[in-house]
A and B are shown apart, each in its own frame.
Chain A
Amino acid sequence: MTPNDDPGAARANLSLAERAWRIRRHALRMGEVQGQGYIAQALGISDVLAVSYFHALNHRPEDPAWEGRDRFLLSIGHYAIALYAALIEAGVLPEDELDSYGSDDSRLPMSGMAAYTPGMEITGGSLGQGLSVAVGMALGLKRKRSRSFVYTLFSDGELDEGSVWEAAMSAGSWKLDNLIGIVDVNNMQADGPSRGVLNFEPLLPKFEAFGWHAQRVDGNDIEALVAAFDAARNLDEPRPRIIICDTKMAKGVPFLEARERNHFLRVEPDEWAQALDVLEAGRP
């Protein structure tokens, strides 16, 4: 069983744009298995995941529990489809498991859980928990004198949860310079546009006020992301780091980008082929 349909791709010298494109394609193919789901989020966050797994993270695909790895926590459980796509692309998961997404007895459940999937560090899904767990892991890594980072991906919708701000205050208070938060601001949650559901802006000064080094970037601009991740990693200040990523829901498939309420997308059977075609046309 090869870990990828394109032998050697996991280690090939592909550009980050190509990685992001391939992550999008894996995600679309998983979405097609169920015919609906969190496709728009996955397409939106693919550039961030490409930069995370192919530029920033220190990890070993063949040994996802390697003690020296940087941890990547997915707080947003329903973004599992996106993380599976990235883990497939990274060679942690075999590509031929992709068609089991969300099915009985699959290692790829709809909402990400640590016990199910190699490379899945925590069980997300009860939104607002990931950053608290990250604080504990960052403290634990410091106790072990480890140089690993803890990355935590959470969403703008999760900013509604009070526990996120407990954790944000704690990370600032403990000066956790090994903690890198990534917020996906796609301005869409279950009941509609996030800023309308509960306005979290201005976000950057909030994190700064909590003692974080804060950056805000276009989360679909790979060069900007690389610069932001480099700055976060290399910063020589005793502060946690946040990268606020403004992303576009369904990025890369314009007819899905245009759908107004795309938190949970229903895509007609014939539209999947169309979506893959559109993606193919935009291949870098």
Chain B
Amino acid sequence: MRRSKYERPVREPAPEGGRAKTSAMIASIAGPDQRTKPAPFGEALATLAQSRPQIVGMTADLSKYTDLHVFAKAHPDRFYQMGMAEQLLMGAAAGMAREGFQPFVTTYAVFASRRAYDFICMAIAEENLDVKIVCALPGLTTGYGPSHQATEDLAIFRGLPNMTIIDPCDAHEIEQATVAIADHPGPVYMRLLRGHVPLVLDEYGYRFELGKAKVLRDGRDCMIVSTGLMTMGALEAATLLARDGVDVGVTHVPTIKPLDEATLLEVAGRTGRLMVVAENHTIVGGLGEAVAGVLLRAGVIPAAFKQIALPDAFLDAGALPTLHDRYGISTPKVVERVRGWLG
């Protein structure tokens, strides 16, 4: 993907009126016209904690960037700043859970999945402890490059026994999932969208249920099975394609593990339509391969099966809209690819 660092990129001459500004610094995934809600996780947790004294918040120097600062402000005596030490963070969360508390632990997805994996595995998951690991910057939601882009976190945690994995789509779902995972005893890994998070699913009368996939709209020609923020793109793409008479459905799968196999088999069993699995994650080991495995094992084969996912590569740094386009997960690219597959 990347050119040699010794090769200077050729830049087109600036057009009249100057170049369009691009920046890797803009972290929001919200489009300019989208309705948003600020810090849905932090707000939901702070509210929930009012009635649940066992909840504590713990972080490794990233409370501000995981919206946990909202909880910290509301419940300062229940907030534990553990310093930039993710292994300690996970070990200490295990200790807290052993003493009867319910820690909500935040950091970036790269640090939880890569640096602290063994602690999550042995101190938390092996003992099935009630620790909620909530991580910002999942998949391609930052332009900082591979150090911050957790493109393989789902693959890593899918292999971990006892672990429940959630990839919510929007602010509405994050709020509901925060309560649902608190109600579920045992370790949970939840991908987090932070800051001003888009609101989409409330328009569909949607409610998050742990372990459930939901058909948000049906479609004759194609069914996009998607998770996380890709469900937003899938819904937008379906609306755009409908204008051209292409009937596309969307099934949202926020719980990656355990998978709602019954719904997936039902959706895939409808004859004669293309099935596309879309995820903000590498094509290796995420939702796409998980769904493929479910279908093959059950002998349910859709008319065609395609994946929209990030490539098996270390991704570029740059502005998010540029990168989403480059790697084929932006809405225009989803539209283009579905149209291409339908021929």
**Chain A: residues with CB nearer than 8 A to chain B?**
113-115, 121-123, 125-126, 128-129, 131-141, 143-144, 162-163, 166-167, 169-170, 173
Contact = CB atoms under 8 A, between A and B. Distances in A.
A126 B118 contact: yes
A113 B127 CA distance: 9
B99 A133 contact: no
A16 B226 CA distance: 64
A137 B95 contact: yes
Contacts of B118: 126, 129
B320 interface: no
Given A132-B91, A139-B96, A141-B99, 20 more contacts: A121-B98, A122-B98, A123-B122, A129-B87, A129-B122, A132-B90, A132-B95, A134-B95, A135-B88, A135-B95, A136-B91, A136-B93, A136-B95, A136-B96, A137-B96, A137-B98, A138-B95, A162-B87, A167-B91, A170-B83
A122 B82 contact: no
B126 interface: yes
29 contacts: A114-B127, A122-B94, A125-B122, A126-B121, A129-B118, A132-B87, A132-B88, A132-B94, A132-B123, A133-B92, A135-B92, A136-B91, A136-B92, A136-B93, A136-B94, A136-B95, A136-B99, A137-B95, A137-B99, A139-B80, A140-B96, A140-B98, A140-B99, A140-B100, A141-B99, A166-B87, A166-B88, A169-B85, A170-B82
Interface of B: 56, 80, 82-83, 85, 87-88, 90-101, 103, 118-119, 121-123, 126-127
A129 B96 contact: no
Nearest to B118: A126
Contacts of A166: 83, 85, 87-88
A191 B2 CA distance: 41
B123 A139 contact: no
Contacts, number: 96
Contacts of A121: 98
Given A129-B122, A137-B99, A173-B83, A163 B88 contact: yes
Nearest to B58: A136
Chain A CB within 10 A, most for which of B80, B82, B118: B82
Contacts of A162: 87
Contacts of B91: 129, 131-133, 135-136, 163, 167
Report, nearest first, the 7 A-B pairs whose CB atoms are least far apart.
Answer: A136-B95, A132-B91, A140-B99, A136-B92, A137-B95, A166-B85, A166-B88
A133 B101 CA distance: 13
B328 to A, nearest CB: 38
A129 B119 contact: yes
Contacts of A131: 91
A9 B302 CA distance: 70
A262 B179 CA distance: 52
B100 A133 contact: no
A143 B126 contact: no
Nearest to B87: A163
B119 A123 contact: no
A259 B252 CA distance: 63
A123 B125 CA distance: 11
Contacts of B87: 128-129, 132, 162-163, 166
B83 A139 contact: no
B123 A170 contact: no
Contacts of B88: 132, 135, 163, 166-167, 170
B126 A132 contact: no
B95 A143 contact: no
Contacts of B82: 170
A133 B87 CA distance: 10
